[in-house]
Amino acid sequence: MEINGKDIERYSALLLKGFKIGTSPVETNYFRGRNRSSYNLISQTFGLKTIAIGLMFKGDTRDKIAVNKSFFDLELVGNPMIYLDDGYWYNCVLVSSGELEYDGNQYARAYYEFVGTQHKPLVTVKSSTFSCSSTVPFTDCIITGTATAATGSIGDITFSGATVGKVLVVDGINKRFLYDGAPAAQKFVWVNFPALVPKENTIVTTGLSGVTIQYYPTFM
Per residue in 23-59, pLDDT (tens digit) is: 999 999 999 999 999 999 999 999 999 999 999 999 9
Structural domains of the chain, with CATH: 2-118 (2.40.30.200), 123-219 (2.60.120.860)
Q: Tell me the mean pLDDT in the region 176-191.
A: 96
Q: Is the alpha carbon torsion for 183, 185, 188, 192 positive or negative?
A: positive
Helix, coil or strand: residue 98: coil
Percent of the chain past pLDDT 70, that is, above it, reads 100
pLDDT tens digits along 184-214: 999 999 999 999 999 999 999 999 999 999 9
Distance, in Å, from the CA atom of 165 to the CA atom of 90, rounded to the nearest integer, reads: 36
* 21 strand-pairing partners: 51
Q: What is the pTM of this model?
A: 0.88
Question: Hey, which bits of 47-102 come out as E strands?
Answer: 49-58, 81-83, 89-97, 101-102
Reported as type and span, the H/E element at residue 15 is: strand 13-15
How is residue 74 annotated by DSSP? H
What confidence score (pLDDT) does residue 93 get? 97
